[in-house]
Structure 1
């Protein structure tokens, strides 16, 4: 919860000083429902992401997103079924500030702060050359990730009620990885396990790219 506190304060303060209406005739709607295109192709955190954005004056908007993590299309192309049972969720809150402009354009520039929380679980199974049918190694892997990113983006009106949302930016992430090392056969070497799947906590640099298509109403 300590990661959410700054954003909750920002969320409350912007509501307190927000103007109630927008006079933009190109983006006259205050609500957007969006679907993200990138998680479908994310090799690490694939899934289906849906978001809702509320613009409560000409400069400020808040977006909430929820992602259902799933192997989805990846399992169709994973012939060895090495990773399976992948599940989890990601919750995001993004505060946007639209860059002031004197002219009404079909493209709006914005700056945003984006906070994400992810919980994921997957199972890793491997097979030896002598026993290609039954798995000889099985491991449950759990990941928790909290990330904060600062992004620059565009909202582009592509039709009367449709919008394309493009953004990217750097940030930091905290990641915790754990596993149970529950081997069926145990042929995998310890060095391989410790290098790739060792339990650890770490801070790392992060960079995100987002592409969303939305419906305004």
Structure 2
């Protein structure tokens, strides 16, 4: 009887903790892949508030220049809000689908050079690149829970509006072609394209 009573107390405590986790807990997470992104390099943090079978996640990223050359003096912000709907929950994992909206703006410095064959001089043309993004995407994901730690992995598809503009540029640019991601990302564009996000977030539960 004593053992059954202890088992009952442990079960009730676990159920209460799981209910409390679903209702009231917060998650604070870091996106390590953002630090490896050559174009939108930065530090990204998110906070998630759980409400039973739903949650709301707010994300903010400070974008800055990484180790990869091509985006000098990069600075910018990236903000996002994601609504998650959980389809299956245990004390070890949570499956979900979500709607995610992201806004981003960054600036960086660049310079191009031209050879004046008539006067035999090299012309320097410094300018700024301004890039704005608006993304609406749908994702499926899974959260792995271990004590107070969480790993959140998701992927999906959506639409991305991107506008890249050159500021204070004197000479018209030569559009970059080929497979150089850095050079292609500097081209002036104003379009909507497909976006396929893959996100990994690591954090802890408050």
State the TM-score, normalizing by the size of structure 1. 0.73
Partner residue, 1:99: 87
Deviation at 1:138, TM superposition (A): 1.7
Deviation at 1:73, TM superposition (A): 3.5
Partner residue, 1:119: 105
Q: Distance in 1 between matches of 2:196 and 2:50?
A: 25
Unaligned stretches of 5+ residues in structure 1: 1-21
Q: Distance in 1 between matches of 2:148 and 2:17?
A: 16
| Cα pair distance change 1:47/1:27, threshold 3 Å | same
Partner residue, 1:19: none
1:45 alignment partner, SS class:
coil
Partner residue, 1:192: 174
1:40 alignment partner, SS class:
helix
Partner residue, 1:212: 201
Could you say which structure has the higher strand fraction?
2
Q: Distance in 1 between matches of 2:19 and 2:63?
A: 37
1:82-141 C-alpha deviation (Å, 9 max, x unpaired)? 43011110000000001135xx35121110111000011111124579xxxx98232211
Q: 2:130, 2:167 within 8 Å by CA — same for their partners in 1?
A: no
Which structure would you say has the larger Rg? Answer: 2
Question: What CA RMSD, in Å, does the superposition of the two structures yield over aligned residues?
Answer: 2.9
Partner residue, 1:42: 37
Q: 2:152, 2:200 within 8 Å by CA — same for their partners in 1?
A: yes
Residue among 30, 48, 52 paired with 1:53: 48
Q: How does 1:171-190 map to 2 (within 5 A)?
A: 171-183=158-170, 190=172
Q: Distance in 2 between matches of 1:24 and 1:37?
A: 28
Number of residues of Structure 1 aligned to a counterpart in Structure 2:
179
Unaligned stretches of 5+ residues in structure 2: 1-15, 116-121, 178-183
Q: 1:83, 1:125 within 8 Å by CA — same for their partners in 2?
A: no
